[in-house]
Amino acid sequence: MNASPLSARIHNGILAISAFIILVVFPTLNAMGIIEDFTLNLWGKYLCYGILAVSIDLLWGYTGLLCLGQALFFSLGGYMMGMHLMLMIGKLGQYKSALPDFMVFLGHSTLPTFWVPFQSFPFAFSMIFLIPGLMALVFGYLAFRSRIKGVYFSILTQALTYGASLMFFRNDMLMGGNNGFTDFRTLLGANLRIASTQRLLYISTAILLIIVVMLCKWLTRSRFGLVQRAIRDSENRVLFSGYSTANFKLFIFVVSAVIAALAGALYVPQVGIINPSEMTPEKSLEAVVWVALGGRGSLVGPVLGAISVNALKSWATREYPDLWLLFLGTSFVLVVMFMPTGMIGLPSQLQALAKRMKRKSTEP
Partner 1 sequence: MNPKPILLAAEGLNKSFDGYKAIHELNFYLDEGELRTVIGPNGAGKTTFLDLITGRTKPDTGTLAWDDSKHDLLRLNEYEIYRLGIGRKFQTPTVYTDHTVMENLILSLAGSRGIFHCLFGKTSSNQLDRIESILETIKLTSHAHRKAGTLAHGQKQWLEIGMLLAQDARLLLVDEPAAGMTDEETHRTGELLLSLAGKHTIVVIEHDMTFVRQISQGRKVTVLHQGQVLCEGPVEKVQNDERVIEVYLGRKSKAA
Q: Which residues contact 142 (CB under 8 A, 6 or more apart)?
A: none
Among 96, 170, 193, 237, binds partner 1 (CB under 8 A): 237
Number of residues forming the site for partner 1 (CB under 8 A):
22
Query: Shortest Cβ distance from residue 15 to partner 1 (Å)?
Result: 23
Query: Shortest Cβ distance from residue 4 to partner 1 (Å)?
Result: 12
- Kindly report each contact of residues 343-351 with a partner whose C-beta sits within 8 Å and lies 24 or more positions away, as own/partner: 343/293, 343/294, 343/295, 343/301, 343/304, 343/305, 343/308, 344/294, 344/295, 344/298, 344/300, 344/301, 344/304, 345/295, 345/298, 345/301
Q: Which residues pair with 191 in a beta bridge?
A: 186
Query: Shortest Cβ distance from residue 130 to partner 1 (Å)?
Result: 20
Residue 151 identity: V
Among 12, 178, 247, 330, binds partner 1 (CB under 8 A): 247
- Kindly report each contact of residues 103-111 with a partner whose C-beta sits within 8 Å and lies 24 or more positions away, as own/partner: 103/174, 106/171, 106/174, 108/174, 111/87
Closer residue to partner 1 in complex, CB, 240/338: 240
Q: Which of 108, 114, 111, 106 is nearest to 89 (CA)?
A: 111
φ, ψ (nearest 5 deg) of residue 182: -160, -170
Query: Shortest Cβ distance from residue 235 to partner 1 (Å)?
Result: 11
Closer residue to partner 1 in complex, CB, 245/275: 245
Give the binding range for partner 1 (CB under 8 A) out of 87-95, 112-120, 163-171, 243-251: 243-251
Closer residue to partner 1 in complex, CB, 252/335: 252
Closer residue to partner 1 in complex, CB, 111/227: 227
Query: Shortest Cβ distance from residue 156 to partner 1 (Å)?
Result: 22
240 interacts with partner 1 by CB under 8 A: yes
Closer residue to partner 1 in complex, CB, 108/229: 229
Closer residue to partner 1 in complex, CB, 76/344: 344
Closer residue to partner 1 in complex, CB, 75/245: 245
62 interacts with partner 1 by CB under 8 A: no
Distances (CA, A) of 262 to 2, 55, 131, 149: 32, 10, 11, 26
Site for partner 1 in 215-234 (CB under 8 A): 219, 222-224, 226-227, 229-230, 233-234
Query: Shortest Cβ distance from residue 136 to partner 1 (Å)?
Result: 15
Would strands 181-182 and 273-274 be described as parallel, antiparallel, or unpaired? antiparallel
Query: Shortest Cβ distance from residue 139 to partner 1 (Å)?
Result: 18
Query: Shortest Cβ distance from residue 347 to partner 1 (Å)?
Result: 21
Give the binding range for partner 1 (CB under 8 A) out of 159-167, 188-196, 240-248, 345-353: 240-248
Q: Which of 361, 333, 297 is nearest to 53 (CA)?
A: 297
Query: Shortest Cβ distance from residue 247 to partner 1 (Å)?
Result: 6
Among 248, 253, 267, 290, binds partner 1 (CB under 8 A): 248
Site for partner 1 in 180-219 (CB under 8 A): 219
242 interacts with partner 1 by CB under 8 A: yes
Q: Which of 108, 64, 61 is nearest to 86 (CA)?
A: 108
36 interacts with partner 1 by CB under 8 A: no
Query: Shortest Cβ distance from residue 57 to partner 1 (Å)?
Result: 16
Residues that bind partner 1 (CB under 8 A): 219, 222-224, 226-227, 229-230, 233-234, 237-245, 247-248, 251
